Amino acid sequence: MGMPGVGKGTQAARLCQDLGVPHVSTGGILRQAVASGAPLGLRARSYMASGGLVPDDLVEELVVERLGRPDAGDGFVLDGFPRSVEQVAMLDRILARLGQRLDGVFLLTASPAEIIRRLGGRRVCPRCDRVYHVDNQPPRSPGVCDACGSALVQRPDDAESVVRERLEVYARQTLPIVEGYLARGVLREVNGVGEPQDVAVRLRLAVGQA
* Residues that bind ligand AMP in the complex, under the rule CB under 6 A: 4, 26-27, 30, 47-48, 51-54, 59, 80-81, 83, 87, 157, 166
In whole angstroms, how close is the CB of 209 to ligand AMP at the nearest point? Answer: 25
Specify which residues 144 forms β-bridges with: 151
Pick 48 or 125: Cβ nearer ligand AMP: 48
Pick 69 or 142: Cβ nearer ligand AMP: 69
Residue nearest to ligand AMP (CB): 27
What letter would DSSP give residue 24? E
In whole angstroms, how close is the CB of 47 to ligand AMP at the nearest point? Answer: 5
Pick 15 or 48: Cβ nearer ligand AMP: 48
Pick 165 or 201: Cβ nearer ligand AMP: 165
Per-position b or e across 108-141, b if 16+ CB within 10 A of its CB: bebeeebbebbbebbbbbbeebbbbbeeebebee
In whole angstroms, how close is the CB of 78 to ligand AMP at the nearest point? Answer: 9
Cite the DSSP H helix spans in the chain.
8-19, 26-36, 39-50, 56-67, 85-98, 112-121, 160-169, 176-184, 196-209
In whole angstroms, how close is the CB of 35 to ligand AMP at the nearest point? Answer: 13
Which residues are the active-site residues? 8, 83, 122, 155, 166
Name every residue whose Cβ is closer than 8 Å to that of residue 80 and which is 6 or more positions away in sequence.
8, 9, 25, 26, 27, 28
